[in-house]
Amino acid sequence: MTKLKDQLLRLIQHDAYRKLAEFTGQFVRVAPEEKEAILAGIDFERWLAETCEKCLQGPPAC
């Protein structure tokens, strides 16, 4: 993978982990009717960060 692609993946991964931390912190303070949306955000950001990690490891993961 090219250096630029690696940098972009790391940037996306870093942002996903940051958002994951924010969602996790919000979860305990939100109203019950908002918890499902927060959980969906947590799942998505975790998936995104893990996918970036797999792509950074190289083929055939990505």
Mark out the alpha helices in 1-62 (DSSP H runs): 3-27, 35-57
Which residue in 27, 29, 28, 32 sits closest to 42, CA to CA? 27
Alpha carbons 3 and 25: distance in angstroms, whole number: 33
pLDDT tier, 31 (very low <50, low <70, confident <90, very high otherwise): very high
Give percent of the chain with pLDDT exceeding 90: 89
> Which pLDDT belongs to residue 2?
87
pLDDT (mean) for 9-28? 96
Please name the amino acid found at residue 43: D
Contact partners, residue 54, CB within 8 Å, separation at least 6:
61, 62
pTM: 0.85
Q: What is the mean pLDDT of the chain?
A: 92
55 and 1 Cβ atoms separated by less than 8 Å: yes
